[in-house]
Structure 1
Amino acid sequence: MSVAEATRPGPPRGRGADSDRGFRPEVQGLRALAVLMVVSYHIWFGRVSGGVDIFLLISAFLLSLSFLRRIEGGKPLDLAQHWLHQFKRLLPAVVVVILGVLGASYVLVPPSRWPDIIEQSWASLFYVQNWVLASNAVDYYADDHSLASPLQHFWSLSVQGQVFILWPLLFLASALLARRFRLRVRGVVMLVFGAVFVASLGFSIWETYTNQAYAYFDTRARLWEFALGTLLALALPFVRLPRSLRIVAGWVGVAAMLSGGFILDVQGQFPGYVALWPLLAAALVILAGQTGSAIGADRFLSAKPLVRVGDLSYALYLWHWPVLVLALVWQDRPSPGLLGGFIIIAVSLVLAYLTMRFVERPLRALAWADKRRRRAVVVLAVSVGLVAAPLAAWQHTITQEARNLAAEADTNNPGALVLDPLLGISAPAGVPPIPATTEMDKEYFQFDEACAGEDVPAAELIRDACYVVEPPSTPVRDIVVVGDSHSQQWAVPLAAMAQERGWKMTFVLLGGCKYGAGPEGRTPECEQWNATVTDYVLQQAPDLVYTVGTVARSDDPQDVLPAGFARIARMLDDRGIQVVAVRDNPRFGTSRVLCVETQGADSPACNPPRAATLSDQPPVAELLGQAPNVAFLDFTDYLCRDEVCPAVIGNVFVYIDDNHVSASYLRSMLPIFTQRFDEAVGP
């Protein structure tokens, strides 16, 4: 049950916290304050306000009041009818927003981002968006919202939708237990939801500490917030506070709500115990109730403008984030500024009002659909179909276009081969580069086979990050690839050579962790990782270790050696393990794909000067001076032309983002990679 549904006008509430019935305008105002906090924090401050957490508490509070009244009134809990009625009210507005986002994204958003928007549209439609974001480890606190998904905010609605299915089941189970053992319903409900509160809060604290990015979107780490709302509904009739204390409680709650987002480290600590701050603040306001005082917080929260914003709050929450993100994409800005922020709020309010006036209210009042279940099913089916049909069609279209482009790649997209003067190959003009920008998420090498048997590391730290490419017969060479994602990208030509030549290749990699030794430029976790990987390499005693041996930077064309790399390379060489170090590829300040999409492949911005991108003098002399037997590979001449470092070479995208080479381009480099590898190491 959304807050708007459960707070529709009813008999006025005459006392503070001694009743759980009737319309409570201060709760509607509280909801308005929460949504305004969410909107303003997103637009201007780039912080999490705690307003969403307040939404979750209020929704559970009102849902619980409704079910308690039904149970104690002896009315049947028709859960199927409840769910149909609930989602009939909620889903149509969701459909309108998703359709609006799809249309605007088609016009404004570069094609490389379409697959993510399509994926998140499906996830939002079926209330699983939070799990998609959790699995993708989205940075919800990114300062540049123009790079965020316009549907990212649906994570909280997905959590809420999942709870709207679970909570009635828990109430039904509580009612059955109370009847079976002749217990008071409220006592059983308190026991059940108290257990949920304790278990979920404990889990939330643990997961927030160990994996905060995942915990933020994890339903299990959020259940305690809903459970607190239910416990508040249970306690409300028994809380009798003096009027003066309720006045103080109301204002303390409002002040805590408004200040929490600035005082708390929400980026690193939500949704663990720190989320108690906004939740307890909202609980104080609810417990304060209507004081009847001219100086009470309830008088402020019950003001007509706030109550009306409360009526709009569901639709306003739905619209504000996509309006913000799409406006920033359109303007190519990381933030809207003061005036731009007010314009975004105004547009969001207009869209929210239109959605409420022409979608929410008409369908809420559609008695025809409430009389028979199959009619409500029809409304839900039509709602889903309105999104599913264009989504499926769009998905099919971009997939087919990508296939058509790939089918002609051998002729039209030679890639790095155009840089070999001996081949005399040129790329035809007017041909779109490969891969299709909608296929960029498939351009990073993915491992299929985890290490097994004797290859499994003994150390738990790296055990789940070990992968292997096994030859069809007894391997003639054993190679271990270590380092970060820049080492992983070279798995494209390495794996191809391994399969052709019968090599065994083991990969132990950690993103953002250059191989070497020493704390300089590394986190303690990376330092521990590298030490563990080195122990594993010594234990496996491979013929060869392959890694990236320099560190390129987007702000300085001169790459440098990773701290301690030469020392580690010399130590491995002393143990009879050959080390092959490849020079790091150029790095850029912005996405190369996005540059081509927005400015064209021939734009100077997409073809920066080679001298300003990566020096012609790698630190190879320094490396060989400390570890003379290292085999050093440098492919800069195949990543850059004589004067520039292009985003597209031979009708192939060189990079998939601002610093990773595409698998398609690396495959086109296979002949030159094989030649130089053999020259440096031997076939």
Structure 2
Amino acid sequence: MRGADAKPVTRIRPEIQALRALAVVGTITFHTWPGYIPGGDAGVDVFFVVSGFLITGMLVREVDRTGGISFRRFYGRRIRRLLPAAYVVIAFSAVMTLTFVPRIQWGYFFHEMLAAALGVENWSELANSQSTDAVLRHLPPTPVLHYWSLGVEEQFYLVWPALILLIVWLVRRSRRRGSGFRTQLRWVFGVVAVASFIDCVLATSANVNLGYFATNARAWELAVGGLLALTPGLGRLPMRARILFGWAGLLAILGTYFFTWDQQHFPGWYALFPVLGAVAVIAAGTPQSAWSPSYLAQWAPIQAFGDASYSIYLWHWPIIFLFPFVSGSPTPWWGVLLLIALGIGVGFVSKRWIEDPLRSGARSREGTGVRLHLHPTAHADAGKATAEQGSPGNPTSAAG
């Protein structure tokens, strides 16, 4: 293997695993007790920032190493990482629907399962909410409602590598000196973030579902994560600043969870709190200080929960949602607790026996694939590749 193609060793970042854990806990509690955690669905916003940060960092470092991006390798990883577990949960939901759900609801449920399998559940939910048909506008949830956020992320994966490669190509073509592709990426991501945020605020004001489900209204959260990945000097922040950022970010996210009572105007500008909170936590890293929240973040159960957050996210909702169809009656509070525990347990099993074998087994067989190469001058002034930022590709959406 050539040195340019050598892959760096992945370094797990504890603060990112902790953010994933915090995001999925917020989502689960919102889905079960929205009256107590009215803003728990902001866990989705946290997942989007994390995904933008990790995916951008991974792609930019690949350009640094090789001068291009292997689309086959990138999409192969995303498919192996996301789709097997997602499709198993869809299959489980389909079997449970055929077994326990009244036949009159089959058509709608299976329509949404197809949308989830195709990665467009967010647009399907938005289309239903915007329909002129009153019945469609007031349809109940389905076992795959939470796949809307996976749809947003999958659409992001379709665009982001090509956008980065396009900017690198344009920089090479213009042969501008003193301005590397990272600088140009910051400008482009900044424009995307500002335009999408304005769109999110305006869309939410006009129709909360438009601001909530539309990919264009959510793109700014992923772009902010991308901007963070391109920000130099994060590891050189003073200790006091890192401690302050860690606590401020944590409080911003928790504050959103507990005090976002106005769901008719979320995300809108309210989403700045969880997004900037996630940015602050990532920027803080894990300072080794007794005054830092990083000691809590590095606690083994939190790390394990964050590592399995994707599978937990996939399984928790269909288990909670479908159980009343099985039992024939509403679930009591203690039953909800048992179902949450079951969903978490199944999530860990899914990670161990579905996610991990496919991901690790494919690494040894992974080839270079079809790589689009650019002339070395396109990235010669990019500077050193940063240290590996974490396990790429854990979505987030584990949320929503």
Give the corresponding residue for 2:307: 311
Q: Output the CA distance in 2 between the equivalents of 1:126 and 1:44.
A: 30
Correspondent of 1:116 among 105, 108, 124: 108
1:151 partnered with 2:122 = no
Secondary structure at the counterpart of residue 370 of structure 1: coil
Q: Is the 8 A contact 1:177 1:188 kept in 2?
A: no
Which amino acid in 2 is paired with 1:363?
Answer: L
**Structure 1, unaligned stretches of length 5 or more?**
1-8, 12-21, 140-145, 375-683
Shift of 1:174: 1.4
Give the corresponding residue for 1:446: none
Correspondent of 1:357 among 352, 355, 374: 352
Which amino acid in 1 is paired with 2:28?
Answer: V
Give the corresponding residue for 2:3: none
Correspondent of 2:293 among 287, 294, 297: 297
1:366 partnered with 2:361 = yes
Equivalent pairs, count = 350
Q: Is the 8 A contact 1:85 1:370 kept in 2?
A: no
After superposition, what is the alpha-carbon deviation per residue over 1:363-398, rounded to whole angstroms, capped at 9, x for unaligned? Answer: 001236534869xxxxxxxxxxxxxxxxxxxxxxxx
Q: Is the 8 A contact 1:32 1:309 kept in 2?
A: yes
1:95 partnered with 2:84 = no
Correspondent of 2:281 among 285, 303, 306: 285
Q: Output the CA distance in 2 between the equivalents of 1:10 and 1:294.
A: 29
1:164-203 equivalences in 2 (<5 Å): 164-182=157-175, 183-203=179-199
1:221 partnered with 2:210 = no
Give the corresponding residue for 2:70: 78
Percent same amino acid at aligned positions? 36
For the aligned residues, what is the CA RMSD? 2.3
Q: Is the 8 A contact 2:56 2:226 kept in 1?
A: yes
Q: Is the 8 A contact 2:39 2:260 kept in 1?
A: no
Q: Output the CA distance in 2 between the equivalents of 1:317 and 1:55.
A: 11
After superposition, what is the alpha-carbon deviation per residue over 1:573-629, rounded to whole angstroms, capped at 9, x for unaligned? Answer: xxxxxxxxxxxxxxxxxxxxxxxxxxxxxxxxxxxxxxxxxxxxxxxxxxxxxxxxx
1:26 partnered with 2:20 = no
1:99-498 equivalences in 2 (<5 Å): 99-137=91-129, 147-182=140-175, 183-238=179-234, 240-332=236-328, 336-367=331-362, 370-371=366-367
Q: Output the CA distance in 2 between the equivalents of 1:249 and 1:42.
A: 29
Shift of 1:63: 0.5
Shift of 1:249: 1.8
Higher-strand-fraction structure: 1
After superposing on structure 2, the runs of 4+ consecutive aligned residues of structure 1 that deviate more than 6 Å are none
After superposition, what is the alpha-carbon deviation per residue over 1:307-326, rounded to whole angstroms, capped at 9, x for unaligned? Answer: 10011100000011111111
Secondary structure at the counterpart of residue 230 of structure 2: helix
Which amino acid in 2 is paired with 1:351?
Answer: V
Which amino acid in 1 is paired with 2:319?
Answer: V
Give the corresponding residue for 1:473: none
After superposition, what is the alpha-carbon deviation per residue over 1:85-131, rounded to whole angstroms, capped at 9, x for unaligned? Answer: 21122100011100111111112211111111111111111101111
Q: Output the CA distance in 2 between the equivalents of 1:307 and 1:136.
A: 37
Q: Output the CA distance in 2 between the equivalents of 1:105 and 1:179.
A: 54
Give the corresponding residue for 1:469: none
Secondary structure at the counterpart of residue 77 of structure 1: strand
Q: Is the 8 A contact 1:84 1:373 kept in 2?
A: no
Q: Output the CA distance in 2 between the equivalents of 1:98 and 1:304.
A: 30
Which amino acid in 2 is paired with 1:281?
Answer: G
Q: Is the 8 A contact 2:30 2:39 kept in 1?
A: yes
Secondary structure at the counterpart of residue 119 of structure 2: coil
Secondary structure at the counterpart of residue 267 of structure 2: coil
Shift of 1:194: 0.8
Q: Is the 8 A contact 1:247 1:296 kept in 2?
A: yes
Which amino acid in 2 is paired with 1:81?
Answer: R
Secondary structure at the counterpart of residue 150 of structure 1: coil
C-alpha distance 147-337 of structure 1, shift in aligned 2 (>3 A): farther
Which amino acid in 2 is paired with 1:164?
Answer: Y
Shift of 1:238: 4.9
Which amino acid in 2 is paired with 1:167?
Answer: W
Larger Rg: 1
Q: Is the 8 A contact 2:93 2:318 kept in 1?
A: yes
Which amino acid in 2 is paired with 1:103?
Answer: V
Q: Is the 8 A contact 1:60 1:230 kept in 2?
A: yes
Which gives a bigger RCO, structure 1 or 2 (Cα 8 Å, sep 6+)? 2
Which amino acid in 2 is paired with 1:85?
Answer: R
1:51 partnered with 2:54 = no
After superposition, what is the alpha-carbon deviation per residue over 1:207-265, rounded to whole angstroms, capped at 9, x for unaligned? Answer: 11112122211001000010010111111535743212221221121122112123224
Q: Output the CA distance in 2 between the equivalents of 1:124 and 1:138.
A: 18
TM-score of the two chains, using structure 2 as the length reference: 0.82
Which amino acid in 2 is paired with 1:361?
Answer: D
Which amino acid in 2 is paired with 1:221?
Answer: A
